[in-house]
Amino acid sequence: IDAGLSGGPLKGRHILVTSGPTHEPIDPVRYIANRSSGAQGTEIARALAGLGADVTFVTGPADVPPPQGVNVIKVETAQQMLSAVQNAAHADAAVFAAAVADWHVANAGTSKIKKDKTGLPELHFAENPDILATVSQMTQGRPDLVVGFAAETDDVVANATAKRARKGCDWIVANDVSPETGIMGGSENAVTLITAGGAEEWARMGKDAVAAKLASRIAEAIK
């Protein structure tokens, strides 16, 4: 079938994708964040749109530009990302590729902290909402397929399997981001797809190829 003529297997389907890091302000000029280029989430959104899906792409401040042909919602903080996700209309599937900061600075300042004032600043952290868990555990309007990510450095499959159960999502895409793998910031990824059926290891390949494979699996799952 010519996807261009048929409209693609995901035509008429609405899919939500989160991507990139979040930035949590310390003051107007400083922030804390996770490392994330946004490359894998961007490729996933591009691949889903390529299969005909109507994609809502909620992204933090990423290094790479968002793909063409998707509805882009730019956010900065985890709280803003949660609001954007909750405001996005009912989705058939949702993919949470964002590297959401786990904490925000509870005593963030509205004016710049000056370093010559009174010694080192004391930051107080408060936990951010878990966007993936919130959507996974929705009792009304939950997407049919909820896919999370798990970037781990040790016991990748065990940690990701536990994470899947804890959050209540359907699938987890797990990867080993130890520095020696060279995956963080690179163009390749080596992932394990964890579903109710178990763990499936995929060969190392380009992030675009991982995205294409995941998009076709999603299309199969929600057809």
Catalytic entry in 34, 87, 175, 189:
34
**Binding-site member from 76, 102, 190, 202 for ligand CTP (CB under 6 A):** 102
Q: Residues 6 or more apart from 156 whose CB is under 8 A from it?
A: 150, 174, 175, 176, 192
Q: Given the complex with ligand CTP, which of 51 and 132 has the nearer CB atom?
A: 132
Question: What is the distance between the alpha carbons of residues 118 and 110, in angstroms, rounded to a whole number?
Answer: 17
Q: What is the DSSP letter of 144?
A: S
User: How far is residue 199's CA from residue 160's CA, in Å, rounded to a whole number?
Assistant: 10
* Using rule CB under 6 A, residue 130 touches ligand CTP: yes
57 is in an annotated binding site: no
Encoding tokens for residue 43?
């490729």
102 annotated ligand-binding residue: yes
Cβ 204 to ligand CTP, closest distance in Å? 20
- To ligand CTP, the closest distance from the beta carbon of 94 in angstroms equals 10
Looking at residues 15 to 44 of the shown chain, list those that interact with ligand CTP (rule: CB under 6 A). Answer: 18
Q: 155 and 143 in contact (C-beta within 8 Å)?
A: no
Would you count residue 78 as binding ligand CTP (CB under 6 A)? Answer: yes
Q: How many residues bind ligand CTP (CB under 6 A)?
A: 16
CA distances from 110 to 29, 157, 169 (A): 10, 42, 37
* Segment interacting with ligand CTP (CB under 6 A) among 48-56, 145-153, 180-188, 192-200: 145-153
Strands 125-127 and 145-152, by their bridges, are unpaired
76 binds Ca ion (CB under 5 A): no
Out of ligand CTP, Ca ion, none, what residue 149 binds, judged by CB under 5 to 8 A for its kind, is ligand CTP
Catalytic-residue membership of 34: yes
Q: Answer yes or no whether residue 100 interacts with ligand CTP by CB under 6 A.
A: yes
- Cβ partners under 8 Å of residue 116, min gap 6: none
Mode of pairing for the β-strands spanning 188-189 and 205-206: antiparallel
Give the residue, chosen from 31, 57, 149, 171, that forms a contact with ligand CTP under the rule CB under 6 A: 149
Closest to ligand CTP by CB, 121 vs 168, is 168
| 23 neighbors 77 (Cβ within 8 angstroms) | yes
178, β-bridge pairs: none
Among 102, 113, 123, 162, binds Ca ion (CB under 5 A): 102
Contact 63/37 with Cβ under 8 angstroms?
Answer: yes
Interface residues with ligand CTP (CB under 6 A)? 18, 78, 96, 98, 100, 102, 128-132, 148-151, 163
Interface residues with Ca ion (CB under 5 A)? 102
